[in-house]
Copies of this chain bind each other. A is one copy, B any other.
Amino acid sequence: MSEKRRLLHTPVEPFTIEPHASADQVLDRMRGISFQGRNLATAHDVWRKMLGDDCVIFLGVAGALSAGGLRLVIAQLITQRFVDCVVSTGANLYHDLHECRGRRHFQGSPAADDRALQAAHIDRVYDTFMDEEEFIENDNWIAAFASTLDPRPYTSRELLYRLGGHLWSETGRDGILTAAYRANVPIFCPAIADSSIGMGLSQARQEASGAGHVDVIGDIIESANIVIRKRRTASVVLGGGTPKNFINQASVQAEFYSAGIGGHQYALQIVTDVPHFGGASGSTLDEAQSWGKVAAGADQVTVNVDATVALPFLTTALASTSADICADRRRAAFDLSGREIILDGEAFPDGRFET
């Protein structure tokens, strides 16, 4: 009986509708329910804890979030430092650049006739349409940008910082790349070769043989050095993909050179993939503990929901409840203007892990 009492301690509190409630008020009452609704409320609480603790918050961005209309949310998270370091797929940065350059994505239908779209030079991402000719023009723009760089390898982090600066000087528009540039928040893109940014870089090389070299192995070193230096880290992952694992491997690699780090102290993921097929995107945060990617005692939560549903409510709530905590937090101070990151006034060692 006492075992039963011990297990049955917190009743489900049925949700009730209160008209005109704010997103944070709704989320507040969702703490009492079950399933993914509860997990979304917990995600708020875990993120808030991250902000109140002295840790570096990594944000992973995968899935077509920029094309789908979440790029300015991510820019706001960067500007207001709800996150400290971004790891993204190339596509999300490319689609961000596309809009920053004044082009648009369009609402369409998943049931569109794709042959007709191909004939009209329209590219589709589920229910979203894009003008293919504008994309070709972007690629040329990226190639031209790449031609202005020195003929040496750049980490994706350094390249994207310069790309953000170039975009800002040319457009003055908000977006992920420009916000990160202005806020000195590093962006890593380990799979840049699998994206239209990579395609644009490859086109630069057609003109100049040294152009468009990305040192993605250098990115591994830089990301691990952030963990080595700061030790306390948190992971916020949207959609899985390469960013999820890259953020986790930074912990593992850091541990290799500086024992005792022990994985992220906080972990939050919003994913739609499932664990039982063995893929990394859907893997549980418990599984990540076996690898030491996430600390054994970490505050963690997985929300199985499309980020386009979760993020508008979650970030609105967080901005309402945690803006003060966020403003007061001790932020990692990055200087990204050189070949090596300067963190809190001290440069990382030249092309090497900090030991």
| Interface set of A (CB-CB < 8 Å, partner B) | 3-4, 7-24, 26, 29-30, 32-38, 40, 62-64, 67-73, 76, 91, 99, 104-108, 110-112, 114-129, 131-132, 136, 139, 153, 190-196, 198-199, 201-203, 205-206, 209, 212-221, 224, 239, 241-242, 245-246, 249, 252-253, 256, 272-281, 283, 286-287, 289-292, 296, 303-306, 308-313, 315-316, 319-320, 323, 350-353
Contacts and interface: CB of A to CB of B under 8 A. Distances in A.
Given A14-B71, A105-B11, A123 B290 contact: yes
A330 B190 CA distance: 36
B131 A20 contact: no
Contacts of A13: 69
A337 B339 CA distance: 33
A51 to B, nearest CB: 14
A107 B193 contact: no
Contact of A34 (B17, B249, B308): B308
A292 B118 CA distance: 6
A345 B107 CA distance: 46
A321 B305 CA distance: 25
Given A7-B117, A35-B277, A191-B191, 14 more contacts: A4-B121, A8-B129, A11-B105, A15-B72, A17-B315, A20-B320, A33-B308, A34-B126, A40-B309, A190-B191, A199-B256, A241-B241, A277-B308, A278-B308
B124 A291 contact: yes
Contacts of A14: 69-73, 99
**Copies of this chain assembled into the complex:** 4
Nearest to A70: B15
Contacts of A195: 245, 249
A290 B105 contact: no
Contacts of A38: 69, 107, 127, 308
B213 A217 contact: yes
Contacts of A125: 34, 278, 283, 287
Contact of A72 (B16, B120, B215): B16
A44 to B, nearest CB: 13
Nearest to A21: B316
B122 A7 contact: yes
Query: 4 closest pairs, A vs B, by CB?
Result: A33-B69, A37-B308, A193-B216, A34-B68
Nearest to A274: B274
A230 to B, nearest CB: 19
B12 A105 contact: yes
A302 to B, nearest CB: 8
A128 B320 CA distance: 29
Nearest to A248: B194
B128 A312 contact: no
Contact of A287 (B126, B276, B308): B126
Contacts of A117: 7, 289-290
Contacts of A72: 14-16
Contacts of A221: 202, 205
A276 B126 contact: yes
Nearest to A107: B10
Give the interface centre of A3, A9, A16, A202 by most chain B CB atoms within 10 Å.
Answer: A202
Contact of A213 (B29, B153, B202): B153
